[in-house]
């Protein structure tokens, strides 16, 4: 079967939060593997248009839809519109997310709830409305973007860790309920990646940069393109009997307790 196992030509893939960053990198990978990309964002139509222009410059088929993934009415309407205008969704990547870095004892309840709503509730909402056609067709791929915080805690990201830990269990329960319909539900847990959001701390001498280089066995930040292969695998026939797993793309962080900063 060879490379045909990874061929997703003609598949329609909705990637939430795919106007920038890791979401864009995964969408680009799927697009280069043959999928039509449905770009989603909620900040501005301009960002969506810019993303579509970028995808199309690479020869990727792409169409954009602006909607709030936490608003069930908006999600339902958008999914119906996508399926009318483009076709039934074969691949869903629940990537949209936010983080608020605040010590728990100082965090406002409204901020905590917002993180949970975006990072945990929205994957449930979007999946709920996409999976119905997948069940009818007896096929589909759902990929939830988890985090190393699905496994570990860290100062100031309690809400995010709670959401991502919940998303890990939601992924397993989706798999439990939907595997019998030939739907595979898995997750990807990114490590620390070189993106525009980490530009300011990825400089020599910055304490967090030194921490990541020391903590990661690969001794480097991930390239966003490193996620593309895992996304393609989980979106393709190659993963047809893989269900309920989180694949950590982290350079080995979760494999080790770490090392002293002065160790060679």
Question: How confident is the model over 193-236, as pLDDT tens digits?
Answer: 998 878 889 999 999 999 999 999 999 999 999 999 999 999 99
The CATH architecture assigned to 2-195+224-250 reads 3-Layer(aba) Sandwich (3.40)
Contact yes or no for 186/242 (Cβ under 8 A): yes
Q: Span 145-160, mean pLDDT? A: 96
Contact yes or no for 32/20 (Cβ under 8 A): no
Contact yes or no for 63/38 (Cβ under 8 A): yes
The answer for residues whose C-beta is within 8 angstroms of residue 10's C-beta and 6 or more apart is 34, 35, 36
Give the pLDDT confidence score for residue 177 in this predicted structure: 98
The answer for residues whose C-beta is within 8 angstroms of residue 164's C-beta and 6 or more apart is 119, 120, 146, 147, 149, 150
Cβ-count burial 158-188 (b if 16+ within 10 Å, e if not):
bbbbbbbbbbbebbbebbeebeeeebbbbbb
What are the tens digits of pLDDT across the range 12-30?
999 999 999 999 999 999 9
Q: Domain coordinates of the chain in residue numbers?
A: 2-195+224-250
What are the tens digits of pLDDT across the range 139-152?
999 999 999 999 99
Contact yes or no for 15/30 (Cβ under 8 A): yes
Q: Could you give the residue numbers annotated as active site?
A: 160
Label residue 262 by pLDDT band (50, 70, 90). low
Q: Span 107-132, mean pLDDT? A: 98
First to last CA, the chain: 44
> What is the SS3 assignment for 140?
strand
Give the pLDDT confidence score for residue 230 in this predicted structure: 97
85: which 2 tokens? 């205008």
């Amino acid at each position: 079967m060879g490379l045909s196992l990874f061929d997703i030509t003609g598949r329609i893939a909705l990637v939430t939060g795919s106007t920038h960053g890791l979401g864009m990198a995964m969408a680009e990978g799927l697009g280069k593997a043959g999928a039509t990309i449905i770009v989603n964002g909620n900040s501005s139509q301009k960002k969506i248009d810019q993303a579509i222009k970028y995808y199309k410059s690479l020869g990727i088929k792409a169409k954009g839809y602006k909607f709030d993934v936490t608003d069930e009415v908006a999600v339902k309407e958008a999914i119906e519109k996508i399926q009318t205008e483009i076709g039934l969704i074969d691949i869903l990547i629940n990537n949209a997310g936010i983080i608020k870095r605040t010590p728990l004892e100082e965090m406002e309840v409204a901020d905590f709830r917002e993180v949970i709503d975006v990072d945990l509730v929205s994957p449930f909402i979007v999946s709920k409305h996409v999976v119905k056609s997948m069940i009818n067709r007896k096929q589909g791929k759902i990929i939830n973007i988890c985090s190393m915080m699905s496994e570990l805690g860290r100062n100031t990201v309690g809400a995010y860790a709670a959401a991502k830990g919940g998303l890990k269990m939601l992924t397993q329960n989706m798999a439990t309920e939907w595997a019998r319909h030939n739907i595979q539900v898995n997750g990807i847990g990114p490590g620390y990646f070189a993106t525009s959001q980490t530009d300011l701390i990825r400089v020599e001498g910055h304490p967090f940069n030194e921490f990541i280089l020391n903590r990661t066995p690969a001794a480097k930040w991930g390239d966003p393109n490193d996620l593309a292969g895992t996304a393609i695998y989980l979106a393709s026939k190659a993963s047809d009997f893989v269900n309920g797993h989180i694949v950590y793309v982290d350079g080995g962080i979760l494999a080790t307790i770490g090392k002293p900063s002065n160790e060679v």
